[in-house]
Amino acid sequence: MKAIVQDTYGPADVLRLRDVDRPTIGDGDVLVQVRAAGVDPGVWIFMTGRPYLARLASGLRRPRVPVRGRDLAGVVTAVGARVTRFRPGDEVYGTSLRGSYAEFTSTPERRLARKPANLSFAQAAAVPVSGMTALRAVRDSGEVRPGHRVLVIGASGGVGSHAVQIAKAYGATVTGVCAPARADVVRALGADDVLDYTREEIDRDGPVYDVVIDTGGDRPFSLLRRALTPRGTLALVGGAYTKGPLLSGYDRQMVRAPLLSLFVGQRLRSVSAMERTEDLDTLRELIEAGALTPAVDRSYPLAEAAHAIRHLREGHPAGKVVVTI
């Protein structure tokens, strides 16, 4: 089968389209013919091997798993002996730690769910990592309820575009922070108000937000906290591009947040995706109910996966970037 692989860490130039062996499956695994795969900052981190601490999981000298990609949507072609929820022919979406920029991938049953019936494969592939991260930020960390005022920083990005819609579905009044060129996109997602970050700061209206979800990573704690009510919640979303060899300033903020939260009235929480079937099912319910629609900025064929990653890194996409297979 064809796959996007890398033999060493580095920029997108290290990626190659190659013929590799089709993956095998264990008793609890599912073999999926991949139809589309999402692109997120985690792909860039594992491609470059930066921050270096990431290499503890991905391989010290070279990637332990050479195939890139994590999000996926596709069709089940085979299942292991202990798999009970899927059978060949089922349309699924989810994640794979064995790489999804390939014609086939294998993944444990628990990382998959039934694909939303009203989405294309490309749309479905845009959801898993960003959608589950946004769901955790809104539902679990933010504990958003009807009547809450929620601020989403980076509202036009992958996680932010999901967070705006999920917060609205949970009954919140939502303000999105984005570039002026993306204001119409964020309003179309359902935001009640939009802040132009080039002209207005997030504490413009004082401490009025019950929940601030920061996907941008370039604002200090002091500013973020000034926008919160005295008992409000700050949810810091992981996935920012590192600027340091070990930890970026944003990564350090994510480490500091739960510690500082012990000494202040506001709740400061770090958020990352926990990839669970239950969350994929919740997202599918929101999507099929019309409360959540993934925003796809651009799609690229498998052979142009390197261009897709560059666009994510440099093009400031509105929503998600997707690779189609």
pLDDT digits (tens, 9 = 90+) for 293-322: 999 999 999 999 999 999 998 878 999 999
pLDDT tens readout for residues 160-212: 999 999 999 999 999 999 999 999 999 999 999 999 988 888 888 888 999 99
Q: Which two tokens stand for residue 105?
A: 């991938």
Among 271, 286, 312, residue at a domain's last position:
271
User: If you average pLDDT over residues 34-49, what whole number do you get?
Assistant: 92
- Record the pTM: 0.92
Q: Give pLDDT, residue 45.
A: 87
For residues 78 and 252, the model is more confident at 78
Q: Are residue 230 and residue 202 in the same domain, yes or no?
A: yes
**With 70 as the cut, is the pLDDT of residue 232 above it?**
yes
CA distances from 190 to 6, 146, 231, 324 (A): 39, 15, 26, 28
Band the pLDDT of 78: cuts 50, 70, 90. very high
CB 74 within 8 A of CB 106: no
**44: in domain:** yes
What is the chain's mean pLDDT, rounded? 91
Return d(Cα 86, Cα 95) in angstroms, integer.
15
Q: Find out whether 69 and 102 touch, Cβ atoms under 8 Å.
A: yes
Sole residue written with tokens 């002091």: 222
Q: What is the mean pLDDT of residues 1-22?
A: 97
Residues 99 and 8 grouped into a single domain: yes
Same domain, 154 and 265: yes
Instruction: Say if residue 115 is in the same domain as residue 14.
Output: yes
Return the amino acid letter for 276.
R
If asked whether residues 120 and 133 sit together in one domain, one would say: no
* 38 contacts 109 by C-beta, under 8 angstroms: no
Whether residue 280 lies inside any domain: the answer is: no
Print the domain residue range for 39: 2-127+294-324
6 and 115 in a single domain? The answer is yes
Q: What is the mean pLDDT of residues 79-106?
A: 98
Taking residues 97-108, what's their average pLDDT? 98
Alpha-carbon torsion (41, 45, 51, 55), positive or negative: positive
Give yes or no: residues 134 and 113 share one domain: no
Kindly state the average pLDDT of the residues 50-78.
Answer: 88
Domain shared by 10 and 49, yes or no: yes
Domain total of the chain: 2
SS (H, E, C) 78-140: EECCCCCCCCCCCEEEEECCCCCCECEEEEEHHHEEECCCCCCHHHHHCCHHHHHHHHHHHHH
Can you give the CATH number for the domain in which 161 is found?
3.40.50.720
* pLDDT score recorded for residue 221: 82
Q: Both 70 and 190 in a single domain?
A: no
- Asked whether the CA dihedral 11, 270, 106, 88 is positive or negative, the reply is negative
Residue percentage of the chain with pLDDT more than 90: 73
pLDDT digits (tens, 9 = 90+) for 233-264: 999 996 555 455 545 444 556 666 666 665 56
